[in-house]
Structure 1
Amino acid sequence: MSGDTGKPNFKGRRLFLGAAAALPATSVLGAKPPHGQPSVPPSAKSVLDTKHSACDAQRGKHKFDADVIVIGAGFAGVTAARELGVEGNKVILLEASTRLGGRTYSGHFAGQNVEYGGAWVHWAEPHVWAEVERYGHGVEEEQIANVDRALVMLPDGRVKELTTEQLDAYDKDGMDKFTAGARELFPRPYEPLTNPKVRELENISAADHIAKLGLNEVQTAILNAEMTLYGAGPISEYSYLAFVKCFSCMSWDYYTFNDADRRYRIGKGGTLGLLKSMIQHSKAEVRFSSAVNQVRQERDHVIVTTEDGRKVTARAVVVTVPTNTYKRIQFIPALSPAKRKYIDQGEMSNGAKVFVQLEKNYGNTFAFCADPNPLTVVQTIKNSDEVGTILSITPGRRKLIDINDADEVEKQVQRLFPNAKLVGLSGYDWANDPYSQQAWGAYRVGQMSLAQELAVPEGRVFLAGASTAGGLNEYIDGAVESGLRAGRQVRELFSRSPA
């Protein structure tokens, strides 16, 4: 951890710092959670029901530590642990960091509850919405429904100020053209390869597709920013079909997609609150600071080895780590060639999350910033004469800006809000966290059909995580979907080979 203490380490001016700002770009989530936030609810720490499965009776014979080992405590891992734990299986959940959440991260900034990773949910997302309802968390609404100022930054840095009606019209027209034919391409979007034409088109990039649409410069800039956001990298590398699939999962509807994309957050504690409810229900034993470096599969069990040399055995393992961290784990025997090809390619997702507080009240603003401008999407989450303006910023191409340099961030913000003065800054750099090495899951051109191979079991080894989902691979919903599927697959294995 390079001696990281979890203390602020910002370049330039010293500002009011929020929760995740206390973790610099070189730090890891192993640092003490900011503002005294508990890394896990006390009820989830090594809580085990003594009555688990029939395998308990034979554990002395087989010397298995659990029925199932789950690797990774994000939404995929916690969902899988809950699915298998509530059925009486003994589940050990190994998490490399010191907290629940994976690539979600609930925190506080400038008096606001904020999310530094995955955030927004919607009733059109069936899997995560079921969890929100199951545990009674509800949602909180963002200010975006009442935007009074709209900005679009063109690739050359010029800023166009639009009415909200103009932004909506430009955005909808461009999106309608970009996603034309979506219903035919993805008639069953949670089974994306149903239409064989998908395989024929998966080498088309978002940039290639935009170039054919005949849009004006403002519409082109808006779509450029949208695709940079979703791809979290150059749109010349981002799969056109990857976005269209996500759009199709929202009932092929522009308005539903926009609401799901940035309007409603999980209530009652945010993503961490929902994860606490799920893990408490699971009765899983959670072991933090347990990074895994080997998964060995034997005839009737698996052996998982952590980086500090500890070994844990079980009848099956569910691996839910982000795609770009799979190279940290040795699989014996090796994963299938198709899985290894996808893992070797990696995902392009180089995004981050930043919150800033401006001294003045600039109104309720929404902005798209086309690549190569680094801020990508900017959204007001709070504004008043008392607090000034609090912005949520999602840089799609993290490499274009040092989110820990207050002067640099202020300079970029001033391109949208001239002479703005930053009084607070907080952010998280997902691509530089060794236990994520990426933000949300984003398919490169040619990866969609290959990604579906990740969901295929390999004996007693099961892969989950948002990127393995059939549907919303860039959302929390995809993570939950994958955890449900992995739970089902493990149950099927156990039904064929009972303990």
Structure 2
Amino acid sequence: MPRSKEGFLWTPTQETEGLQTDAVQQGSRSIEDHYDVIVIGAGFAGLIAARDLTQKHGLRVLLVDARDRIGGRTWTAKVLGEEIEMGGTWVHWNQPHLYAELHRYGLHRNLKTSAELVPADKYVTVLESVAQRFFSIDGLDSRSLMPYPHDPLRQPSPWQAYDHLSVKDRLNQLHDIPQWEKELFESNINTFGSAPGKDIGFVEALRWFTLGGHSMAGVFELAGIFKLGKGGMTSFARAVWSEFTGDSLFNTPISGIRQGTAGVEVKTSHGQTLRAKLAVSTIPLNCLNDVQFSPPLSPLRQAAIAEGHINSGAKIHFKLRETLPGWFWTSNGYNGSDFVFAFSDHNGNQPSGPSGTWCIGFGYNGCLTDEKDSRSILKAFNQDINPHHTVEAYATHYWINDPYAKGVWACWGPKSTSKYLKALQESHGRIVFASADWAAGWRGFVDGAIERGQVAVQDIMQLLKNDLSDASAKL
């Protein structure tokens, strides 16, 4: 199995940089002087766009990625005999864009469950009770506030009147709920963005709740129970990749995109110039400031990029010596814990049967910032999560230190959705933007990436249908 330059594994006797994965791919031996479309980024948004532009529409497409692999912020590593999801993980049949693609490739048959990724039943009752109060304002319940969660800007959209609130602001308005119930509820909402409730937008939490069928149990099921076996999410990325018929370049970061009446010129950090009629950028929100656009992006889009999304926590897979039943743990964000939440994912697999436990810990934003600082990571695990278990290894991809991610799944703060969502989804002349970071529905999820990849194809075909010189004239 090939080895990526990315990923990190710690054991008491060794540190390993770069993990084995089937996501590593070789680019084209030669490329053309000019293409119909250049797709920047081989995550799921880029893979879907590149596949459909070549397969459905017969366009000449060049797919470019800064990494040595496909999948973007989603890839499966082989670690100590186990398949470990380093980024995006959980899928569900009620994530519509994703499940249609899984079914297309027969991968829905490979769904399996994590060991335990929901709070205990006694706490779910409390969470549901608080949620019904929390998501009801001025006589409007969650269904009335956001009636179309996959099309949130569609009118009417009463949620916009409350976009200024944080999760903490809204909890502070509920004076008749016991404090411990508020803290329990907030600790679970904090998992949406690796942040305390003061940093997470009320509307961001509302979006998760409505997508989850207006229940906390639904949120937990749709966002954190089912995942892919038999090759994991990389098997999914490889299935899409197998149908792409264009050219590709890997290990090729982008430094600038210039456009004019003749087309677009994409500059690489190696000094290469790539040319096409149009471009699709799937560069994550927190990385767009690293690319020089000419003409410059709109002031509102620039403001959104400057603010970015808030989620910069760590995701760490721990191998425990003990073989444990399923468990789930959260922290309220105000007790000094470095971890937001943690849970058992699965027991280790050996010919003799289960061996040890693999669990996942998610750090709060700004905590545990060095993947190689094993002393601090192990201390935080024992101090915050459980002092009675022995960590035999941990594996991670530190997305916050990744120059091509600068964060994990997107989560927005107050005032962001109503202000920035529409601007981020719009095209910029000959450049179409596609990322899960500004998806309409499952923002931050693979489903959201696929959604935006599909929309990008529609936008590209419309631009080709229209007078391209008119698109440039609007800049």
Segments of structure 2 that go 5 or more residues without pairing to the other structure are: 470-475
Deviation at 1:483, TM superposition (A): 0.6
Deviation at 1:282, TM superposition (A): 1.8
Write the mapping of 1:287-326 to structure 2, written as runs, cut at 5 A.
Answer: 287-326=249-288
Query: Does residue 1:94 correspond to 2:64, yes or no?
Result: yes
Contact 1:68/1:315 (8 A) holds in 2:
yes
Separation of aligned partners in 1, 2:114 and 2:157: 41
Partner of 1:105: 75
Partner of 1:390: 358
Partner of 2:431: 461
Separation of aligned partners in 1, 2:135 and 2:186: 14
What do the CA deviations read for 1:371-420 (whole angstroms, capped 9, x no partner)?
14222121112237852222111224242565433333333332433332
Identity of aligned residues (%): 25
More divergent stretch after superposition (99-108 vs 136-145): 136-145
Segments of structure 1 that go 5 or more residues without pairing to the other structure are: 24-32, 51-62, 151-163
What SS does structure 1 have at the residue aligned with 2:414?
coil
What do the CA deviations read for 1:160-201 (whole angstroms, capped 9, x no partner)?
xxxx22122223223333333211111111221233433221
Query: Does residue 1:237 correspond to 2:195, yes or no?
Result: no
Contact 1:93/1:286 (8 A) holds in 2:
yes
Partner of 1:187: 147
Counterpart selection for 2:28 from 26, 31, 46: 46
Write the mapping of 1:274-293 to structure 2, written as runs, cut at 5 A.
Answer: 274-293=236-255
Separation of aligned partners in 2, 1:490 and 1:7: 34
Contact 1:401/1:409 (8 A) holds in 2:
no
Separation of aligned partners in 2, 1:198 and 1:232: 23
Partner of 2:473: none
Partner of 1:212: 173
Query: Does residue 1:334 correspond to 2:296, yes or no?
Result: yes
Query: Does residue 1:417 correspond to 2:386, yes or no?
Result: yes
Separation of aligned partners in 2, 1:429 and 1:398: 12
Partner of 2:129: 173
What SS does structure 2 have at the residue aligned with 1:208?
helix
More divergent stretch after superposition (448-457 vs 320-329): 448-457
Change beyond 3 A, Cα 1:205–1:307: same
Separation of aligned partners in 2, 1:247 and 1:146: 17
Separation of aligned partners in 2, 1:472 and 1:219: 27
TM-score by length of 2: 0.88
Query: Does residue 1:201 correspond to 2:158, yes or no?
Result: no
What SS does structure 2 have at the residue aligned with 1:290?
coil
Separation of aligned partners in 1, 2:323 and 2:233: 28
Partner of 1:158: none
Partner of 1:346: 308
TM-score by length of 1: 0.84
Contact 2:144/2:158 (8 A) holds in 1:
no
Deviation at 1:15, TM superposition (A): 5.1
Contact 1:144/1:366 (8 A) holds in 2:
no
Partner of 2:461: 491
Separation of aligned partners in 2, 1:481 and 1:312: 26
Partner of 1:451: 421
Partner of 1:432: 401
What SS does structure 1 have at the residue aligned with 2:107?
coil
Contact 1:452/1:469 (8 A) holds in 2:
no
The total of aligned residue pairs comes to 450
Write the mapping of 1:10-159 to structure 2, written as runs, cut at 5 A.
Answer: 14=12, 22-23=16-17, 33-35=18-20, 37-41=21-25, 45-46=27-28, 65-86=34-55, 87-138=57-108, 139-144=110-115
Separation of aligned partners in 2, 1:136 and 1:7: 28
Separation of aligned partners in 2, 1:9 and 1:255: 33
More divergent stretch after superposition (424-433 vs 325-334): 424-433
What SS does structure 2 have at the residue aligned with 1:70?
strand
